[in-house]
């Protein structure tokens, strides 16, 4: 049995599990684990935050059993008898009750906060799966797990066992894992970190401060080095009150940490833990970990290290199974005019005109639909206006003059240094045709500069507009005010540092997002603010316009990314699922998908049409700050604070490359116009160029790899590195390839 | 620190805290900032706790008061984002609605004007003045600027019968900078300005250079009504409509 079901929690199925406790098959336990998942969106309506249990016999049954246990624990034997007789419960139902353990209760987070006072005393004990422990369990252990539907009395989170013995349990497990075969050890060592964190959090949550401290000091040094930051945060968390405001940790506690372990290793672990004395760890594992079992060879340490590092473990295989339309939309065919008198005709068929104008060579050659591309109407997109068609024609003309890049033909790099920014430059963007630069600053201003000698002009005031001749041919020039033309314009409006900035593709609008929680749309015709989009109440870290205009996306501290349209004051889609802030948001070239990188070290790909998360990529060891899609839409590159650039295949959902070289956070990534070169800019003041064609060339994506997610990353970063260019103490925060493949870079000089 | 003067104790504590939290590189002003924050936070909490203690008629402040003070401040200043389950539910609901279709051939695609920042942020007060004789005299305009951000209406120079602010149908989208439109009441002899004088006022545009207000242009339109009847008065141009042409 390969995959573990990660389905909806089905109340009826819970009951079935109860009656087959000791069936020692991996599948069943996996099923058990699987059903204990946090209810995905769309599950029982009562789950999210609901405080009343859903009506239904199974639920009441459990309630009754819980009450029975409670009475029994308090030695109210007669009451137990009476209740059991009246409720008609079988004698052995108590003993065989399965771990209806914790769901990553959405209610868990909500419920537990209310239950500060209710500690072990008011808890109900439930016996877990293994029958061997049944006898011991009531005396030794009082596990009571959360349920997705919160019934206040039943859902208190109490510890699994004696707090003082946690250290003993952990070292016991350590000893065991150190004693297994080498091939299994790497995989089983994955268990250490989540187990450590959950046990520690449980101790803290149940107010066992001293034990928690001792536990932490003893075992924190054993963890992997890339969890160092998390451990430091944990070390400062010694009381229950500290956890209250920390949403990330609360989510961590209630969600399941995903581990991918091969079947053999899993069997080993299970056998060991189900022995009598190790049962506590088994309970904790069942409660907090989701073990995604696969058939096949155990993974090596390096393979595991490549994929781990995120706050929620790795991604389950089902999470990356949905079909993603990563192809590009068909370009509308626009005929290039032979002379000015010809009107551009846009039609899909390309009807030949009398003069036989040149058909554009950039349009799709075949009329067949790319099977991997979304249909044109999958999401509504704005139609092309005349000005857009003119833009496209310009684009195609420039494309013909584009330099072909390659390992032997590297791009020239033009660096725009912002002087006297006093470390206040927080965001930069270029227009697609590289005519304007916009900078967002920590003093809440936004400045727009013209890169070309052409100055920035705004539209005249109404009074002046009245005086111009509306019928003249150059009316579009006449409406511009020459008197206030300047090289740069300053836009005031935000009340906090501006963290994200994005030009619209038609160069009419500028979007900025800031720490004040709003996203502002500015007009580049009048250089005034048009709209303030309010929705995030917390700092918004990044925003971007869609490549087709009209839509834009924003992500911020509230862990949600929102899709907006310029003419709706509320978001159209909300992408929720990350455990920590969203630090970077990007559109796919076909505008149908959105990728978000977060502080929880995962990258998620969302479908704009449905709002579902279709891919989860783990592997970074630090918050992700840079994302870039390849121009053909198939691949994604990501950069984080760990200094690595990771390459992902979107279709298969796998990591296909790792580019090591940078020594500090990578803040910008950009593919060249045809996707041959990947440029990365980082805080270590360098721009590095990587050979993208070579990196994507040799892919062994056979079925086996896709099925198990085993990746064999070659350590060829050195071969792929084409050049390193140092700047003079200026961190690179933005990169842009012009239409002719000249690389522009921007950063603030930081002496 | 090898400075000759010793660093005060609390600054040393702050340095130690920063070190414990793993922050190794920071500007020296960070310590001062953290100390100020600490001081302000602690005094706020203690003051709040004193208020709670006096409210509960206790003679001295005890731990419960402090706990209550901390809790209340947490909910006020240090709010945290909504919990995940709530977000998931809201997202699920929001994502169920299909994406709205895009109307073709519209101008700039912006939300309804109520949600934009394009409305003028001022409002006119209606002025009623008795003016003596001569025709064509421009009386001093009364200009009142109020911060009205939510009113969609723009004062217009309507027909002479209406001197107060009228709501214009179809709020103009004034994409040009800030404009001040001032209405000057026609110097009519009748005190009541609600008369339906058939005379249409003449309007001329006077542009005043941007003064203290930066790049804002003040547009003053004057209604010059001749004392005689309509025949001599100039026709008023409907430049308001033109003014509001969206760009």
Longest dimension (CA), chain B: 92
- The alpha-helical segments, DSSP class H, found in A240-374 are 240-244, 247-254, 263-273, 279-288, 301-307
Q: How many residues does chain A have?
A: 751
Q: What local confidence, expressed as pLDDT, does residue A133 receive?
A: 36
Q: What value does the mean pLDDT take over residues A188-198?
A: 88
Please state, in angstroms and rounded to a whole number, the distance separating the CA atoms of residues A384 and A362.
16
Please state, in angstroms and rounded to a whole number, the distance separating the CA atoms of residues A517 and A536.
5
Last residue of a domain, one of A283, A298, A320: A320
Strand A446-450 to strand A540-545: parallel, antiparallel, or no bridges (unpaired)?
unpaired
Q: Is residue A543 part of a domain?
A: yes
- Confidence category of residue B152, pLDDT binned at 50, 70, 90: very low
Q: What value does the mean pLDDT take over residues A170-182?
A: 87
- Confidence category of residue A26, pLDDT binned at 50, 70, 90: very low
Q: Is residue A244 part of a domain?
A: yes
| Boundaries of domain holding B66 | 9-96
Whether residue A567 and residue B219 make contact (CB cut-off 8 A), yes or no, is: no
Q: How many domains would you assign to chain A?
A: 2
Last residue of a domain, one of A287, A320, A353: A320
* CATH code of residue A579: 2.130.10.10
Q: What local confidence, expressed as pLDDT, does residue A19 receive?
A: 42
Please say whether the beta carbons of A315 and A258 come within 8 A: yes
Please state, in angstroms and rounded to a whole number, the distance separating the CA atoms of residues A33 and A99.
9
Please state, in angstroms and rounded to a whole number, the distance separating the CA atoms of residues A692 and A678.
6
| Residue A709 clears pLDDT 90, i.e. is over it | no
Q: What is the pTM of this model?
A: 0.71
Q: Is B91 on the interface with A (CB under 8 A)?
A: yes
| Residue A18 clears pLDDT 70, i.e. is over it | no
Q: Is B207 on the interface with A (CB under 8 A)?
A: yes
Q: Is residue A39 part of a domain?
A: no
For this complex, say whether ipTM is above 0.85. Answer: no
Beta bridge partners of B28: none
Please say whether the beta carbons of A200 and A288 come within 8 A: no
Residues of B in contact with A525 (CB under 8 A): 175, 247
Say yes or no: A658 and A510 in one domain: yes
Q: What local confidence, expressed as pLDDT, does residue A746 receive?
A: 95
- The alpha-helical segments, DSSP class H, found in A308-385 are none
| Residue B31 clears pLDDT 80, i.e. is over it | yes
Query: Closest Cα to residue A530, out of B35, B119, B65?
Result: B119
Percentage of residues of chain A with pLDDT beyond 70:
75
Q: What value does the mean pLDDT take over residues A663-688?
A: 94
Longest dimension (CA), chain A: 101
Query: Closest Cα to residue A575, out of A610, A533, A535?
Result: A610
| Boundaries of domain holding A529 | 422-460+488-695+723-748
Tell whether the torsion through CA atoms of A255, A261, A263 and A267 is positive or negative. Answer: negative
Q: Is A520 exposed, middle or buried (0-12, 13-18, 19+ CB in 10 A)?
A: buried
Query: Closest Cα to residue A125, out of A140, A105, A114?
Result: A140
- Find the residue in A nearest to B221 (Cα): A463
Q: Is residue A465 part of a domain?
A: no
Q: What value does the mean pLDDT take over residues A498-521?
A: 95
Terminal-residue alpha carbon distance, chain B: 62
Say yes or no: A427 and A285 in one domain: no
Percentage of residues of chain A with pLDDT beyond 90:
36
Q: Which two tokens stand for residue B49?
A: 């706790």
Query: Closest Cα to residue A372, out of A331, A313, A318, A329?
Result: A329
Q: What local confidence, expressed as pLDDT, does residue A180 receive?
A: 87
Terminal-residue alpha carbon distance, chain A: 60
Contacts 24+ apart (CB under 8 A), B228-232: B228/B135, B229/B198, B229/B199, B230/B198, B230/B199, B230/B200
Say yes or no: A310 and A431 in one domain: no
Shortest Cα–Cα distance, A573 to chain B (Å): 5
Beta bridge partners of A259: A291
Q: What local confidence, expressed as pLDDT, does residue A169 receive?
A: 84
Q: For B135, which DSSP code?
A: T
Q: What local confidence, expressed as pLDDT, does residue A721 receive?
A: 92
- Find the residue in A nearest to B116 (Cα): A531
Give pLDDT tens digits for A567-587.
Answer: 999 999 999 999 999 999 999
Q: Where are the beta strands (DSSP E) in A419-496?
A: 425-430, 436-441, 446-450, 488-491
Place of tokens 């239950």: A115
**Sequence-separated (6 or more) residues with CB below 8 Å from residue A28:** A17, A20
Q: Is B205 on the interface with A (CB under 8 A)?
A: yes
Please state, in angstroms and rounded to a whole number, the distance separating the CA atoms of residues A64 and A124.
11
Q: How many residues does chain B have?
A: 247
Q: What local confidence, expressed as pLDDT, does residue B4 receive?
A: 62
Q: Is residue A12 part of a domain?
A: no
Q: Is residue A122 part of a domain?
A: no
Q: Which two tokens stand for residue A195?
A: 């187990």
Q: What value does the mean pLDDT take over residues A189-207?
A: 87
Last residue of a domain, one of A252, A287, A320: A320
Give pLDDT tens digits for A41-77.
Answer: 433 333 333 333 344 456 567 677 778 777 887 888 8
Q: Is residue B113 part of a domain?
A: no
- Find the residue in A nearest to B109 (Cα): A567
Q: Is residue A671 part of a domain?
A: yes
Lowest mean pLDDT among A238-247, A433-442, A613-622, B32-41: A238-247
* CATH code of residue A190: 1.25.40.500
Give pLDDT tens digits for B207-234.
Answer: 444 444 444 444 444 444 444 444 433 4
Q: In this structure, how many other beta carbons lie within 10 angstroms of the beta carbon of residue B107?
A: 8
Q: Is A48 on the interface with B (CB under 8 A)?
A: yes
**Sequence-separated (6 or more) residues with CB below 8 Å from residue A734:** A427, A428, A429, A430, A667, A668, A681, A745, A746, A747
| Residue A626 clears pLDDT 90, i.e. is over it | yes
* CATH code of residue B20: 1.10.20.10
- How confident is the prediction for chain A on average, in pLDDT? 78
- Find the residue in A nearest to B205 (Cα): A463
Q: Is residue A599 part of a domain?
A: yes
A504-513, A692-701, B225-234: range with highest mean pLDDT: A504-513
Q: DSSP of A372-412, one letter per residue?
A: TSPPTTSS--PPPPHHHHHHHHHHHHHHHTPPPPBTTBPPP
Q: How many domains would you assign to chain B?
A: 1
Q: Is A114 on the interface with B (CB under 8 A)?
A: no
Beta bridge partners of A533: A519
Please say whether the beta carbons of B207 and B219 come within 8 A: yes
Restricting to B residues 9-28, those with a Cβ less than 8 Å away from any Cβ of A are 20-22
Residues of B in contact with A459 (CB under 8 A): 175-176, 247
Restricting to A residues 554-583, those with a Cβ less than 8 Å away from any Cβ of B are 557-560, 565-569, 571-577, 579
| Residue B63 clears pLDDT 60, i.e. is over it | yes
Give pLDDT tens digits for A638-662.
Answer: 999 999 999 999 988 888 889 999 9
Q: Which two tokens stand for residue A648?
A: 């992902």
Give pLDDT tens digits for A219-231.
Answer: 888 888 888 888 8
């Amino acid at each position: 049995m390969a995959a573990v079901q990660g389905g909806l929690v089905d109340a009826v199925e819970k009951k079935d599990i109860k009656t087959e406790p000791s069936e020692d098959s991996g599948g069943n336990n996996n099923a058990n684990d699987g059903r204990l998942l946090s209810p995905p969106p769309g599950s029982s309506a009562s789950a999210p935050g609901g405080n009343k249990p859903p009506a239904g016999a199974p639920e009441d049954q459990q309630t009754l059993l819980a009450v029975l246990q409670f009475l029994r624990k308090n030695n109210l034997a007669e009451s137990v008898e009476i209740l059991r007789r009246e409720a008609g419960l079988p004698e052995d139902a108590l003993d065989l009750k399965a771990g209806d353990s914790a769901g990553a209760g959405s209610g868990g987070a909500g419920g537990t906060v209310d239950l500060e006072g209710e500690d072990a005393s008011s808890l109900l004990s439930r016996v877990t799966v293994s029958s061997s422990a049944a006898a011991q369990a009531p005396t030794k252990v009082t596990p009571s797990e959360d349920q997705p539907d919160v019934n206040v009395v039943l859902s208190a989170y109490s510890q699994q066992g004696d707090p003082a013995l946690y250290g003993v349990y952990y070292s016991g497990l350590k000893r065991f894992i150190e004693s297994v075969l080498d091939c299994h050890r790497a995989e089983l060592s994955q268990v250490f970190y989540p187990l450590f964190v959950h046990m520690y959090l449980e101790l803290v949550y149940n107010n066992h401060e001293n034990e928690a401290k001792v536990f932490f000091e003893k075992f924190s040094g054993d963890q992997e080095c890339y969890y160092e930051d998390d451990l430091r945060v944990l070390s400062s968390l010694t009381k229950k009150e500290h956890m209250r405001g920390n949403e990330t940790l609360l989510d961590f506690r209630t969600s399941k940490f995903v581990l991918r372990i091969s079947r053999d290793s899993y069997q080993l672990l299970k056998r060991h833990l189900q022995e009598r004395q190790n049962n506590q760890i088994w309970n904790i594992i069942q409660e907090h970990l989701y073990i995604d079992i696969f058939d096949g060879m155990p993974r090596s340490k390096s393979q595991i290290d490549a994929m781990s590092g995120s706050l929620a473990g790795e991604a389950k295989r089902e999470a990356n199974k949905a079909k993603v339309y990563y192809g590009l939309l068909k370009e509308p065919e626009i005929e290039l005019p032979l002379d000015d008198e010809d009107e551009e005709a846009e039609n899909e068929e390309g009807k030949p005109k009398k003069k036989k104008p040149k058909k554009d060579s950039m349009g799709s050659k075949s009329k067949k639909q790319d099977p991997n591309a979304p249909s044109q109407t999958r999401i509504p997109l704005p139609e092309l206006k005349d000005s857009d068609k003119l833009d496209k024609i310009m684009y195609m003309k420039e494309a013909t003059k584009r330099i072909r890049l390659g390992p032997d033909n590297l791009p020239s790099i033009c660096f725009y240094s912002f002087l006297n920014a006093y470390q206040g430059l927080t965001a930069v963007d270029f227009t697609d045709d590289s005519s304007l630069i916009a900078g967002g600053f920590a003093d809440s201003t936004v400045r727009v500069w013209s890169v070309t000698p052409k100055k920035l002009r705004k539209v005249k005031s109404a009074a002046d507009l009245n005086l111009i001749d509306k019928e003249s041919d150059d009316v579009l020039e006449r409406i511009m005010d020459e008197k206030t033309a300047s090289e740069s314009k300053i836009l005031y409006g935000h009340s906090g540092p501006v963290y994200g900035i994005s030009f619209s593709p038609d160069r009419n609008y500028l979007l900025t997002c800031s720490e004040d929680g709003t996203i502002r749309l500015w007009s580049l015709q009048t250089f005034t603010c048009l709209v303030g989009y309010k929705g995030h109440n917390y700092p918004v870290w990044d925003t971007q316009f869609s490549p087709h205009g009209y839509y834009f996306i924003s992500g911020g501290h509230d862990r949600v990314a929102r899709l907006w349209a310029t003419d709706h004051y509320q978001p159209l889609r909300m992408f929720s699922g990350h455990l920590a802030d969203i630090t970077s948001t990007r559109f796919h070239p076909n505008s149908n998908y959105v990728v978000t990188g977060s502080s929880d070290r995962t990258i998620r790909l969302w479908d704009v049409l449905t709002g579902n998360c279709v891919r989860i990529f783990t592997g970074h060891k630090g918050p992700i700050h840079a994302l870039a899609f390849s121009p053909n839409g198939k691949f994604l590159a990501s950069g984080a604070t760990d200094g690595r650039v990771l390459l992902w295949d979107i279709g298969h959902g796998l990591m296909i490359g790792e580019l090591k070289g940078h020594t500090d956070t990578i803040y910008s990534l950009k593919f060249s116009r045809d996707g041959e070169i990947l440029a990365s800019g980082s805080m270590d003041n360098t721009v590095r160029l990587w050979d993208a064609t070579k990196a994507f060339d040799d892919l062994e994506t056979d079925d086996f790899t896709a099925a198990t997610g085993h990746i064999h990353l070659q350590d060829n970063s050195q071969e792929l590195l084409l050049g390193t260019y140092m700047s003079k103490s200026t961190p690179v925060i933005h990169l842009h390839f012009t239409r002719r493949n000249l690389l522009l870079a921007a950063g603030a000089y930081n002496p | 620190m090898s400075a000759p003067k010793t660093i005060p104790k609390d600054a040393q504590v702050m340095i130690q805290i920063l070190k414990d939290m793993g922050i190794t590189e920071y500007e020296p002003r960070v310590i001062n900032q953290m100390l100020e924050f600490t001081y302000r936070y602690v005094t706020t909490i203690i003051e709040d706790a004193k208020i709670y203690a006096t409210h509960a008629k206790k003679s001295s402040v005890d731990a419960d008061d402090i706990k209550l003070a901390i809790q209340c401040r947490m909910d006020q200043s240090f709010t945290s984002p909504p919990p995940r389950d709530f977000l998931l539910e809201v997202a699920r609901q929001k994502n169920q609605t299909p994406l709205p279709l895009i109307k073709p051939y519209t101008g700039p695609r912006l939300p309804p004007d109520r949600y934009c920042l394009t409305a003028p942020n001022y409002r006119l007060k209606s002025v009623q003045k008795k003016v003596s004789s001569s025709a064509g005299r421009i009386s001093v305009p009364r200009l009142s600027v109020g911060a009205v951000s939510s009113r969609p209406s723009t004062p217009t120079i309507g027909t002479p019968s209406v001197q107060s602010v009228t709501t214009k149908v179809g709020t103009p989208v004034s994409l040009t900078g800030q404009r001040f439109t001032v209405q000057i009441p026609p110097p009519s002899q009748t005190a009541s300005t609600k008369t339906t004088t058939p005379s249409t006022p003449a309007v001329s545009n006077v542009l005043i250079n941007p003064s203290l207000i930066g790049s804002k242009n003040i547009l003053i339109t004057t209604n010059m009504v001749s004392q005689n009847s309509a025949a001599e008065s100039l026709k008023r141009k409907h430049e308001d409509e033109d003014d509001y042409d969206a760009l």
